[in-house]
A and B are shown apart, each in its own frame.
Chain A
Amino acid sequence: MKKGEITITITIGIMVLILTTVIFVQFKTIKHTNITLIENMREDELKAEISNFKQKTAEVQNQMQETNLKIKEYEISITTGKEASELLKKELEQQNNILGKNTVKGTGIIVTLTDTRAQKITSKDLRELLNQLKVDGAEAISINGQRIVYDSYVVDLGGTYISVNGERIVSPYEVKAIGNPTYLESGLSKKQYGYIDTKLEEGKDIILERKDEILINAYTGDLNMEYAF
């Protein structure tokens, strides 16, 4: 009798386990197939998305190589007992270049927007420009010397001034961007619907120059988070 009960218990136990597993696998399958979005995509959108993922994979591969190299360098410094100070400094410098704590230089473009009697430049013009430069891979940007950092903002102040990072700036607005000059230029210069054509159409004064070397100043404020942990 007792033996029978044990067998039944075990059998039921195993069945429950199998069923639960199956259910979880199924839930996971449903969660993973992001099919609704893909289902609604047209051919050109699918192609764009494929090349987008190819590019992102290549970027991650690059980063992986670099990370592997850093790991190796640290490993060597541990086994040889050599100081890791230089490696730490190098990593820190890279981060601070990107964050905006360091002054940086490189190839890029300078876009100058100037108020005219007919058309004033607004903060919206500058926000759109920043966004387009980021679309085209800008690695560092400044407006009239104000470095664009992760929490930067550009707003109109009473219709007279524009404020970047809380600092007042006035026309002419000189926007510097470091990155691939060809990408940056062609991104802004698309015919008809591109940024420059749109602004010219609105009667705004805008000039673009390519530069072999641009210097972008470090952010002058403090970078810190008050409410996040």
Chain B
Amino acid sequence: MLLVMGICIQINTIKEATKSVGATLKDNSDLKNELLKRQGEYEAIYKELEEKEKKLEEIRLNASTKSEGDTKNEAEIKSNQILLGLTEISGQGFVIELDENREVSSDEVLNINGYLVHEEDLLYIVNELFNSGADAVSINDQRITNTTAILCDGNIIRINGKMVGVPITIKAIGYPERMEFALTRPGGYLQAMADDGVKVVHWKSESITIPKYEGVYTYEYLTRGDM
């Protein structure tokens, strides 16, 4: 009985959700459908690439001879993958959560700018985390690589081409005390953001997992310069 009830409730929820979406944005439904299609297309081909990369790794290991040079190069390729952010990693670190303050009193409503998280805030925080020795940083699970841009696109922030919305969770692997000190000292950046009305929460953690970079590096214009 409970199960059946559960299912009915779920079906109803979905129906209602779909209905309201359909009703409010009827005019853009073609674009929405195309977007969902493109998104699905991307996810499928990315998954295929992941499998191919795995296969490459195996065959590379098989093909490399036991000569010293080959073994060394194969090992460096593997450790480079980690530095390039192409693997998931874990470790101790520091987490910051930023959210818009939704409980604004009426006389403050006009000053809307202070309550939003901006691209420059994220650039500053990421920079400060690396300045205090972070090994790896992610924002809403988007890994920060050496080509990652934080792009303000109208009301949307994009990182690695992916849309990022509030609440924003910034994770950093590194020495927790050092990162905490750099960002949370009195008069520091997070304090200033909180004073401006952004909800700021942060904590040190014994175990953080940062996902790999879900994208590809392009090197169309780049060649080795010293050979």
Partners in one complex: yes
The answer on a CB contact under 8 Å between A83 and B65 is yes
Which chain B residues numbered 75 to 108 have a C-beta less than 8 Å away from chain A? 76-77, 80-85, 89-93
Cβ of A88 and Cβ of B28 under 8 Å apart? no
Q: How far is the CB of A22 from chain B (nearest CB, A)?
A: 6
Chain A 60-102 interface residues, beta-carbon cutoff 8 Å to B: 60-64, 67-68, 70-71, 74-75, 77-78, 83-85, 87-89, 91-100, 102
Judge whether A30 is part of the interface by a CB distance below 8 angstroms: yes
Q: Does B165 contact A (CB under 8 A)?
A: yes
Interface residues of A in 92-142 (CB under 8 A from B): 92-100, 102-108, 124, 127-128, 131-132, 134-135, 137-140
Number of A-B residue pairs, CB cutoff 8 Å, is 257
Residues of A in contact (CB 8 Å), total 98
Knowing A85-B67, A151-B135 touch, does A50 contact B6 (C-beta < 8 A)?
no
- The listed residue (B10, B25, B144, B221) touching A139 by CB distance below 8 A is B221
Q: Are B45 and A54 in contact (CB under 8 A)?
A: no
Assembly CA distance A35 to B25 (angstroms) = 12
Q: Using CB atoms, name the residue of chain A closest to B79.
A: A224
Least distance between B133 CB and chain A CB atoms (Å): 7
Chain A contacts for B151, CB-based, 8 A: 131, 135
A128 close to B123 (CB less than 8 A) = yes
Query: In the docked arrangement, what's the CA distance between A49 and B77, Å?
Result: 34
Q: In the bound complex, how far is the Cα of B7 from the Cα of A6, in angstroms?
A: 27
Q: Give the residues in chain B near A223, CB-CB below 8 Å.
A: 83
Within 8 A of A (CB), among B145-189: 145-151, 153-154, 156, 158, 161, 163, 165, 173-175
Given A48-B153, A151-B130, A178-B221, answer yes or no on A88-B80 (Cβ-Cβ < 8 Å): no
A153 to B156, CA, bound (A): 25
Residues of the B chain whose Cβ atoms lie less than 8 Å from the Cβ of A208: none
Q: Which of B31-39, B109-117, B194-202 contacts A (4 or more CB under 8 A)?
A: B31-39
A93→B127 CA distance, assembly (Å): 28
A188 within 8 A of B: no
In the docked arrangement, what's the CA distance between A54 and B113, Å? 33
Chain A residue nearest to B65 (CB atoms) is A83
Interface-forming stretch among A38-46, A167-175, A194-202? A38-46
- Measured between beta carbons, the chain A residues less than 8 angstroms from B139 are none
State whether A225 touches B83 (Cβ < 8 A): yes
Q: Which residues of B contact A50 (CB under 8 A)?
A: 31, 34-35, 38
With CB as the reference atom, state the residue of chain A lying closest to B47: A60
Q: Which residues of B contact A128 (CB under 8 A)?
A: 120, 123
- B-side contacts of A48, CB under 8 Å: 153
Q: Which residues of A contact B4 (CB under 8 A)?
A: 19
Q: Which residues of B contact A (CB under 8 A)?
A: 3-4, 6-7, 10-11, 13-14, 17, 21, 24-25, 28, 31-32, 34-36, 38-39, 41-42, 45-46, 48-49, 52-53, 55-56, 59-60, 62-65, 67, 69-70, 73-74, 76-77, 80-85, 89-93, 119-120, 123-124, 127-128, 130-131, 133-136, 144-151, 153-154, 156, 158, 161, 163, 165, 173-175, 210, 215-226
> Footprint of B on A, CB under 8 Å?
16, 19, 22-23, 26-27, 29-30, 34-35, 37-39, 41-50, 52-57, 59-64, 67-68, 70-71, 74-75, 77-78, 83-85, 87-89, 91-100, 102-108, 124, 127-128, 131-132, 134-135, 137-140, 148-155, 178-180, 215-216, 218, 223-229
- CB-CB nearest 5 A-B residue pairs: A105-B225, A134-B149, A84-B63, A53-B38, A225-B135
- Sample of 6 A–B contacts (CB below 8 Å): A41-B28, A57-B41, A105-B225, A140-B222, A151-B135, A153-B131
